[in-house]
């Protein structure tokens, strides 16, 4: 993804993000330094920092503030991934053995807290109370969503509306925070701010739908078995759409329901049913509609390389296969 | 402690803190509301919020900002206790069954994160970048200290200096943050700010020494067995002072070392040795010296009810038995 034009125009900014992220590694605690470094480097494409810079460059960018905000959102993202892995007792993420399996959950809780603290520090460094408050609020939304998901698992099949609420909290709220923060820190006029906020939110929703879709088709490349979500009791859009459209008494739907409720352990069978049902294509159509809305929102903004880059990111989000 | 004069002069402020703390209970998640409410109500004396208000009332108090900061520090304190209990797998704290034993660690990590997020929100509400950054930094200090302690346990007996470093991170840094935040938010002149910062730090160090001392003499009143720290592998000041002063080859010292290193499980014997050695009294003397330094620092400030209240809190910290 780093070869996209969209990232080229902010490549020096992203290098600075990378530098500052690495400065967050606790070198003075040698046992942890290499683990934290791996976790930070596993982040890869830095989509969230890119969104901060691109949305912040439409109006009057303040480079230092945008850089601090970009680092803050990426650290916040990393911290939530770490706590997620602890909660899920996941052993691998993106092919890297997680800190969890190396140190045990106690230390890993603290590692997540450490990165939260660093994130809060960088957010504070923007010296912009509105941006800081937005940052605190998005953390509340993310955690509130995780709490609801943890408590609500195995509560049966969520409605499509509940699914969107969940992926908003899980992913789209932070995307939205990135673009809105860019708007705030560049003193964007209200219509621009609304456009960027809408873009971030819709892009985030589409991103997570695609992520959930790829979970059905993924191989060991991303370090998880195909259908990992359903195996973990997480019901995503393809399952919801499949069950919505299934006729009453359809034996395929009954089989999927049995797997979801834990009555059957035939995950592979359920995954095959979903994949062959056309539900993945329907889910992709939903994502495509959101991407169109995200791109449409940007049309309020003046034409510029940054706007083009955000268009390209939207398109890529839909087309990515990994 | 709430009957102290010191708390009387800010009783309406502390009631407002209580009110705002309860507003942080996630009522919309019924499974969690009552647990979070218990955790918040277990806080008791609200010493940290009191320090924010008292130190903030010496100069030009901004009531709203002080209130937000007071709520932020108390929520931060509660969040760190929750994560601590998760890490320690503690079942009781202050006699209340912890969320950990009710929900399991996954949900409890998130509960702590939820309160961190709320704390960050209230810190942001002060709209004071310096106070917000101080808040982020103290979180880093606390977490860094916890990480070092988690990784360093069973590394033998720490030096007295290492002990002070540890209790600074664990307790004194937040006390110091409270009084410094009060100074910042009331636009205290530099000498006042230094005085309040010194007072907070010394008070916090003494507070933790007394806490560690009481661990040896506590009964089931605080919901932990006597000598809980030594049972958990945490070496505190009385042990350090005892071993410092023991003659080479002293069989009592050898016995304590055997228990600390895990060679012997005779915790009760080790605890009795420490208690009868005079080390508790020596530790109390160290705390008393810190309290004198804390009180002396306050003499720079104009005489006022708030200054008197802080003097009284210092004295009480030394004399408390629970």
Average pLDDT over residues A263-267: 94
Residue B193 is part of which domain span?
5-319
Residues of B in contact with A113 (CB under 8 A): 83, 112, 116, 139, 143, 146
Inform me whether the pLDDT recorded for A75 exceeds 90: yes
Task: Specify the pLDDT at position B154.
Answer: 58
DSSP-derived secondary structure for B262-311? TS---HHHHHHHHHHTTHHHHHHHHHHHHHHHHHHHHTTSPP-HHHHHHH
* Higher per-residue pLDDT: A310 or A35: A310
Cβ contact, residue pair A135, B150, below 8 Å: no
Closest residue in B to A136 (Cα–Cα): B121
Q: Which pLDDT belongs to residue A96?
A: 46
**Mean of pLDDT values over B82-88:** 73
Identify the CATH number of the domain in which residue B178 sits: 1.10.600.10
How far away is chain A from the Cα of B174, in angstroms, using its nearest Cα?
14
Q: Is the pLDDT of residue B4 over 80?
A: no
Q: Do B140 and A124 make contact, defined as CB atoms within 8 angstroms?
A: no
Lowest mean pLDDT among A136-150, B50-64, B168-182, B267-281: A136-150
How close B163 gets to chain A, by Cα (Å)? 17
Contacts of A142 in chain B (CB under 8 A): 117
Which range among A220-229, B147-156, B159-168 shows the weakest confidence by mean pLDDT? A220-229
Is B113 close to A139, i.e. CB distance below 8 A?
yes
Token match 């708390």: residue?
Answer: B7
CB B243 within 8 A of CB B253: yes
Tens-digit pLDDT profile for residues A269-297:
999 999 999 999 999 999 999 999 999 99
- Is A149 within 8 Å of chain B by CB? no
For the cut 90, the answer to whether the pLDDT of residue B189 exceeds it is yes
| More confidently predicted of A254 and B154 | A254
C-alpha A10: how far from chain center: 20
Of B114, B124, B143, Cβ closest to residue A147: B114
List alpha helices for chain B, DSSP H: 5-8, 11-23, 30-41, 47-56, 63-88, 99-103, 105-125, 129-152, 160-167, 173-185, 190-217, 228-231, 237-245, 251-260, 267-276, 279-298, 305-319
Candidates B1, B128, B124; CA nearest to B56 is B128
Q: Is B33 on the interface with A (CB under 8 A)?
A: no
What is the pLDDT at residue A94? 47
Name which of B114, B124, B137 is nearest A129 (Cβ-Cβ). B124
- Interchain contact, B86 vs A106, CB within 8 Å: yes
DSSP string computed for A248-270: TT-HHHHHHHHHHTTS---HHHH
Does residue B182 surpass a pLDDT of 90?
yes
- Distance (Å) from the C-alpha of residue B109 to the closest C-alpha of chain A? 7
What tokens were used for B221? 């009143």
CB proximity A34 to B under 8 Å? no
The string of pLDDT tens digits covering residues A80-120 is 888 877 666 555 554 445 566 667 667 778 888 889 999 99
The tally of domains found in chain A comes to 1
Q: For all residues of chain A together, what is the average pLDDT?
A: 89
pLDDT tier at A256 (50, 70, 90 boundaries)? very high
Q: What pLDDT was estimated at residue B99?
A: 63
Contact by Cβ (8 Å): A210, A318 = yes
Interface contact B266, partner A, CB < 8 A: no
Q: Do A150 and B107 touch (CB under 8 A)?
A: yes
Report chain B's mean pLDDT, rounded to a whole number.
89
């Amino acid at each position: 993804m780093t070869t996209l034009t969209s990232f080229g125009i902010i490549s020096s900014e992203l290098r600075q993000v990378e530098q500052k992220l690495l400065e967050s590694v606790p070198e003075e605690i040698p046992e942890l330094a290499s683990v934290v470094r791996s976790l930070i480097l596993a982040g890869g494409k830095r989509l969230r920092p890119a969104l901060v810079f691109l949305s912040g460059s439409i109006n009057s960018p303040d480079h230092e503030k945008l850089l601090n905000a970009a680092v803050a959102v990426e650290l916040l993202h990393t911290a939530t991934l770490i706590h997620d892995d602890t909660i899920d007792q996941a052993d691998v993420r993106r092919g890297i053995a997680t800190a969890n399996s190396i140190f045990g959950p106690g230390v890993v809780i603290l590692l997540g807290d450490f990165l939260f603290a660093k994130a809060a520090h960088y957010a504070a460094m923007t010296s912009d109370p509105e941006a800081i408050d937005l940052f605190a609020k998005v953390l509340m939304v993310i955690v509130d969503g995780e709490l609801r998901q943890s408590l609500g698992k195995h509560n049966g099949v969520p409605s499509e509306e509940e699914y969107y609420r969940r992926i908003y909290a899980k992913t789209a709220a932070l995307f939205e925070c990135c673009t809105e923060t860019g708007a705030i820190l560049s003193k964007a006029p209200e219509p621009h701010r609304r456009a960027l906020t809408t873009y971030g939110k819709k892009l985030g929703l589409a991103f997570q739908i695609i992520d959930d879709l790829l979970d059905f088709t993924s191989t060991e490349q991303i370090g998880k078995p195909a259908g990992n979500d359903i195996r973990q009791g997480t019901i995503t859009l393809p399952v919801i759409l499949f069950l919505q459209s299934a006729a009453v008494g359809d034996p395929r739907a009954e089989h999927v329901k049995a797997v979801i409720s834990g009555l059957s352990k035939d995950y592979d069978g359920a995954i095959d049913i979903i994949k062959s049902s056309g539900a993945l294509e329907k889910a992709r159509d939903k994502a495509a509609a959101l991407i169109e809305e995200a791109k449409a929102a940007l049309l309020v903004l003046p034409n510029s390389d940054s706007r083009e880059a955000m268009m390209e990111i939207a398109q890529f989000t839909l087309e990515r296969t990994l």
